[in-house]
């Protein structure tokens, strides 16, 4: 692909940079790598930032304009997404809506659903969470047991979801529920849009090993959901669920964050010492840095290849799976080396007066481990690539 920007795209990027200089709050970008995820106390400000970004024409590029999208190619949205990470902006507070629920509705939703939800997703008026996993149903997602029974023009949902990121401040959940217990497991599932303010929903926080409570358990006790909130038709939820999972992997595989992390690692290597000299001068450290640098660059080129395919209307397919697999592992290995180079100070986390980079590295090391699991574990991704991509036998 031609990686040079056209004059129009360069002008667009310059406009975006000028906008961010003025509108991106400096307080959010002071940390070594920007804020990683929304803290609950920041939600209102983060909503306002996303709304302004959308109003300025930098969000929803390529989405249908009748539902709030802005005209433009996937390249333009890619430029915006990369620039936000490069400038250490926090992740969008409505990321699960923008990157997962929205693209799924564009692909599989009814006209009424698109009209009702898409503009509010972009403007961060409504934030979303994902209700897939249940106790006992993670990798084997199709075994899920949360059930929804028909009652007039509604479905009545009873069950228990777990690991639900952002449920504590979300307005809506896209969820998988069992609507036909007698059908083979993949064929008895429906995809529902659930208003989180509905009576009968209880959200209980779960503490991660980072000591943040970013995800939750969600309990449903006879929660009524109008039938019009089924996406793709009753019992057709599995195909819709997979469309969302594809979008989730794209979101988790963004390469700009990995490049930021690597730049941060280089700074650590220059500052930390080995045998009285900067660690970056130690031949063994240099070798490990070089190995990571090669992988970071390969990942960048891979993401450009996927972008090029998408501009030509070619679906990402299995190469898209490689991105999530690589990015999450690479992020973890970069953080691991940073913690190691920092020596005794490396593992210090919240509460210590000798924190390096505000405890960023041990947090990233722990957080990135979760990303290897979330959105489909490494083992499952490798199985899919092996079987569907390389045609290897199942056993
Ligand atoms: C940070 C984070 C955020 C998350 N956010 C959400 C969310 O918002 N919404 C949501 O619904 N879920 C969320 N999840 C849950 C996530 O999707 C599941 O954790 C994931 O699908 C794995 O399921 P599990 O935890 O039940 O592990 P299990 O499926 O029990 O797997 C345990 C281990 O066994 C391995 N394994 C399982 N089956 C096989 C197999 N057939 N072959 C080979 N190995 C196998 C797995 O790879 C893993 O190593 C999140 C998870 C994390 C870590």
**What would the DSSP string read from start to end of 53-79?**
HHHTT-SSBTS-GGGT-B---HHHHHH
- Nearest atom, ligand 1, residue 375 CA: 17
CA of 319 from ligand 1 middle (Å) equals 21
**Token match 């990470």: residue?**
85
| Maximum Cα interatomic distance, the chain, rounded to a whole number of Å | 75
Report the number of secondary-structure helices (H) and strands (E) in the chain: 12, 10
Strand-pair partners of 158: 147
Q: Check residue 191 and give its pLDDT.
A: 98
pTM: 0.94
List phi, psi (to 5°) of 159. 160, -160
CA of 376 from ligand 1 middle (Å) equals 6
| Whether 161 contacts 196, CB under 8 Å | no
Tell me how far apart the alpha carbons of residues 118 and 127 are, in angstroms, rounded to a whole number. 11
Residue 249's SS3 state is helix
> Which sequence positions are flagged as catalytic?
248
Q: Check residue 394 and give its pLDDT.
A: 83
| Whether 166 contacts 160, CB under 8 Å | no
Residue nearest atom 35 of ligand 1, based on CA coordinates: 379
pLDDT < 70: residue spans in the chain: 1-2, 31-40
- Nearest atom, ligand 1, residue 161 CA: 11
- Nearest atom, ligand 1, residue 139 CA: 29
**Token match 């084997």: residue?**
140
Strand-pair category, 230-231 with 189-195? antiparallel
- Residue list, ligand 1 pocket, CB within 6 Å: 129-133, 138-139, 163-165, 215, 370, 373-374, 376-377, 379-380, 383
Output helix, strand, coil percentages for the chain, rounded to the nearest 5: 55, 15, 30
């Amino acid at each position: 692909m031609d990686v040079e920007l056209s004059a129009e795209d360069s002008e667009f990027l310059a406009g975006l940079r000028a906008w961010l200089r003025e509108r991106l709050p400096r307080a959010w970008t002071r940390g070594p790598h920007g804020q990683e995820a929304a803290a609950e106390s920041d939600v209102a400000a983060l909503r306002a930032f996303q709304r302004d970004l959308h109003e300025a024409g930098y969000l929803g590029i390529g989405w249908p304009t009748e539902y709030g999208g802005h005209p433009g190619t996937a390249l333009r949205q890619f430029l915006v997404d990369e620039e936000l990470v490069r400038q250490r902006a926090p992740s969008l507070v409505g990321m699960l809506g923008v990157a997962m629920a929205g693209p799924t509705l564009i692909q599989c939703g009814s006209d009424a659903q698109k009209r009702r939800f898409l503009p509010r997703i972009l403007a961060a008026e409504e934030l979303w969470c994902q209700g897939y996993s249940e106790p006992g149903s993670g990798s084997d997602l199709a075994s899920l047991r949360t059930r929804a029974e028909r009652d007039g023009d509604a479905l009545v949902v009873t069950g228990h979801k777990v690991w639900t990121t952002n449920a504590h401040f979300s307005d809506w959940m896209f969820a998988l529920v069992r609507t036909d217990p007698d059908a083979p497991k993949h064929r008895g599932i429906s995809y529902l849009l659930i208003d989180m303010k509905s009576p009968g929903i209880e959200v209980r926080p779960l503490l991660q090993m980072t000591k943040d409570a970013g995800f939750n358990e969600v309990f449903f006790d006879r929660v009524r959901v109008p039938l019009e909130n089924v996406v793709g038709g009753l019992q057709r939820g599995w195909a819709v669920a997979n469309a969302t999972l594809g979008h989730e992997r794209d979101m988790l595989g963004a390469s700009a964050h990995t490049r930021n992390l690597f730049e941060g690692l280089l700074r650590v290597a220059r500052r930390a010492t080995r045998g009285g000299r900067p660690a970056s001068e130690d031949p063994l450290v240099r070798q490990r840095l070089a190995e990571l640098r090669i992988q970071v660059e390969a990942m960048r080129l891979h993401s450009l290849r996927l972008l090029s395919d998408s501009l030509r209307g070619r679906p990402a397919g299995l190469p898209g799976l490689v991105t999530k697999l690589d990015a999450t592992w690479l992020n973890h290995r970069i953080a691991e080396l940073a913690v190691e180079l920092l020596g005794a100070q490396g593992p210090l986390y919240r509460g210590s007066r000798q924190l390096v980079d505000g405890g960023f590295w041990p947090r990233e090391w722990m957080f990135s481990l979760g990303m290897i699991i979330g959105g489909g574990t490494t083992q499952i991704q490798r199985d899919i690539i092996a079987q569907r991509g390389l045609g290897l036998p199942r056993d």
